[in-house]
Amino acid sequence: MTEGSQLPHDGLPAITHTFAADKQVAPKDDGGPLRPFSETLASAERLLLYAAETGVDVDDATRNSILVARAAVSTGWTEAVAANLLTALAKLSARLRPVTAESLKASSTASKQTVRTYWIVAICLVTFIVPASVATFVTSAVSDSIRKDIDLANSLAVKLTAQLGSPVAQAPASSSSIVSDAAATPQLPAGLSQVEVITELQSFASTMRAIDTRARQLNWFIFHAEKDPFEGLRSDPAKIKEKLQLPVPLPPNLADVTTGRIAVYQDVRSFGQGAVDDVSVFYGAITSCILPVLYALLGTCAYLLRSFQQDMASRTFTPSHADSPRFLIAAIGGAVVGLFNNFVVTQGASIPPLAIAFLVGYAVDVFFSFLEGLIQAFTKNKTGARTPSAASAAGGTNE
């Protein structure tokens, strides 16, 4: 080796001429055999710039090796320059770990695309999850109210029928025996006031109207799958009022009024119960099979966004192909969670399956570690149960 590259005291390279004895790899970066060295130089420069920005001390030999390599792009590469560059890159990588040249490159180029992808997936999930969750919550509350109203109306119908009995049928006009109005009007049992009976009758009619109103609301959520028994009367307020409300003024024959209201109530009850059954099938399937999977995927999005935010802050983000399998694993975990009812945490406290599905998607590794622990526990129990039999069999053989 004759003369080498002269480095002044200020650390900047002053390339006089290349090493005469060193073998020239190629005169300049033409995109061919020098491509690996060009990528190595770019990685080393990223790490050197990051070290300067964060105040990390870099020794002169490492810094000068990178600067000489940058000058060699124009003047020509040598084996010594390439070797010094690789050594400098190795030192910087060890010094700045966990920050890498790949993570610095991804933080400046791939970060926007990654955030956009996560946001698109999260928005698509929320677009379906929010309406489905709201509809499930509303239909569940309305269905519970209809069930309670039906129970109340049934008890009132039985009570009114027992108190008033059946109305007395009027005899035909041509009959020789004419039934008087006093005979046609049922007498209230002793100790039972007319005010109390009328109050119960009003409560029965009010409950019937509440069932009808809530059934129409449920029917809207199931796209009018249940036939409305009063569909032809809805456009006529006077007729629908006559059908669902008590006559004003009340006739003296309360038994006849009660019988008429019970006949209307049977149609209302059939309408309400049918809507409740259809809702329980349709939205029950969504709650048990679809929403847990979507909540698990949403939990995975939350985990990836949080990890991305932390990696971007520490400049350690690198694109990974493991994100797609994580979504698939979270979907499987959410589907499994949907098969169970509420999870009991402590006595008197439980977590609904949708919340568990979100947690499974957020911490899918923890969930599958839990499943693996269960499998190991079952395996140990099975092995322990077989051990005494094997020992006794061995003892019998020895005897």
How far is 127 from 146, CA to CA, in rounded Å? 29
Task: Judge contact between 76 and 24, C-beta under 8 A.
Answer: yes
Question: Do the domain assignments include residue 303?
Answer: yes
Instruction: Name the domain count of the chain.
Output: 3
My answer on whether 138 and 78 are in the same domain is: no
Question: By C-alpha distance, which of 105, 139, 155 is closest to 262?
Answer: 155
**pLDDT value at position 385?**
58
Task: Judge contact between 200 and 156, C-beta under 8 A.
Answer: yes
The DSSP 8-state label assigned to residue 286 in this structure reads I
Structure tokens at 249: 């003024």
pLDDT, mean over the chain: 79
Question: Do the domain assignments include residue 116?
Answer: no
My answer on whether 152 and 65 are in the same domain is: no
**pLDDT value at position 21?**
33
Question: Do the domain assignments include residue 91?
Answer: yes
How far is 206 from 210, CA to CA, in rounded Å? 6
What's the domain range around 364? 295-388
My answer on whether 207 and 231 are in the same domain is: yes
392 - beta bridge partners? none
Structure tokens at 33: 């055999």
Regions of the chain with pLDDT less than 50: 1-32, 168-186, 391, 394, 397-399
Token look-up 């969750």 returns 133
Domain final residue, candidates 228, 249, 284: 284
**pLDDT value at position 216?**
96
My answer on whether 335 and 272 are in the same domain is: no
How far is 269 from 138, CA to CA, in rounded Å? 20
Task: Judge contact between 125 and 297, C-beta under 8 A.
Answer: yes
**pLDDT value at position 356?**
85
**pLDDT value at position 158?**
93
Task: Judge contact between 112 and 327, C-beta under 8 A.
Answer: no
How far is 200 from 207, CA to CA, in rounded Å? 10
My answer on whether 164 and 229 are in the same domain is: yes
Residue 186: is the preceding peptide bond cis (ω within 30°)?
no
Question: By C-alpha distance, which of 189, 212, 214 is closest to 261?
Answer: 212
My answer on whether 150 and 207 are in the same domain is: yes
**pLDDT value at position 99?**
87
My answer on whether 208 and 348 are in the same domain is: no
Amino acid in position 100: T
My answer on whether 141 and 228 are in the same domain is: yes
How far is 260 from 129, CA to CA, in rounded Å? 45
Question: Do the domain assignments include residue 337?
Answer: yes
Question: Do the domain assignments include residue 203?
Answer: yes
Question: Do the domain assignments include residue 264?
Answer: yes
My answer on whether 187 and 279 are in the same domain is: yes
Domain final residue, candidates 229, 251, 284: 284
Question: Do the domain assignments include residue 398?
Answer: no
Task: Judge contact between 345 and 281, C-beta under 8 A.
Answer: no
Domain final residue, candidates 259, 284, 309: 284
Question: Do the domain assignments include residue 223?
Answer: yes
**pLDDT value at position 29?**
46
The DSSP 8-state label assigned to residue 350 in this structure reads E
Spell out the long-range contacts of 206-209 with Cβ–Cβ below 8 A and sequence spacing 24 or more.
207/149, 207/152, 207/153, 207/156, 208/153, 208/244, 208/261, 208/264, 208/265, 208/268, 209/244, 209/245
My answer on whether 209 and 305 are in the same domain is: no
My answer on whether 276 and 320 are in the same domain is: no
My answer on whether 278 and 300 are in the same domain is: no
